[in-house]
Each structure stands twice: as C-alpha cells, then as structure tokens.
Amino acid sequence: MESRETAVFAAKILDDKKAREIKLLDISGLTTIAEFFVICTGGSTTQVKALADNVVEKMSENGAEPLRCEGYKSCEWILLDYGDVVVHIFKEDMRSFYNLDHLWGDAKNIQI
C-alpha cells in the first residue's frame, strides 16, 4: 500500500471502532519524519488500547507491521509507527495537553 492508502486505511479502522475526532494530516511538506499523521481520541485507557490493538491487527492482516509501538504501558497515548504513517491514539486529556492538532496546524487536513 502507498502511504496515503495506509493512512486512510488506519483512519477507517479507527472509525469502525468508534474512535472520536479522527484527523488525517498530510505532513509531507513540513517534515521528514513521516508523510501522514492519523490522530484520534479514545474515551478511556481501555478504549485507547483496544483501538491500538485493532489497528495493529487489521494492518498486519494487510501486510503492514509497525516499526515500533509506544505507550502501551500507560495507554494514555499510544503511537504506532508505520514509517511514512504514524498513528496517534490519545485519551482525551492527553490529546488536549499535547495538542498535536495545533502543533501541526499547517498540515493539510485530508477528508476521509
């Protein structure tokens, strides 16, 4: 899959499991760390973990394995790194605190 397809697929997986405030940001013109960020909110640490587990499972079924996963210990913010696509799954208070939506405000918001 191409980076954009991977990002859209991850966003749809999250939407299917009722993640909230899903954003798909094209950051390719702003940084070299990735091409896309997928950002969403879960209502609790349990939901954040379940969302991350589901993304890893469904992406794996389609041949994409994360290069690294961070945040599983606390489940307040889980980051799944797929190279050109980074998935951020936040608990609501952590999303407000880190405010990636604002930090990457110059990124192009992709409608899914």
Distance CA 74, CA 82 (A): 21
Determine the pLDDT at residue 39.
Answer: 98
Instruction: Decide: 69 and 63 in contact? Cβ < 8 Å.
Output: no
- Residue 111: pLDDT band by 50, 70, 90 thresholds? confident
pLDDT reading at 1 higher than 70: no
Find where tokens 């394995």 sit: 65
Strand 77-81 and strand 68-70: the pairing is antiparallel
- Residue 94: pLDDT band by 50, 70, 90 thresholds? very high
pLDDT reading at 8 higher than 80: yes
Q: For 33-80, what is each residue's pLDDT tens digit?
A: 999 999 999 999 999 999 999 999 999 999 999 999 999 999 999 999
Q: Which helix (H) or strand (E) covers residue 9, if one does?
A: helix 3-16
Q: For 14-25, what is each residue's pLDDT tens digit?
A: 999 999 999 999
For the chain, which domains are there? 3-110 (3.30.460.10)
Determine the pLDDT at residue 112.
Answer: 80
Determine the pLDDT at residue 36.
Answer: 97
Distance CA 54, CA 34 (A): 22
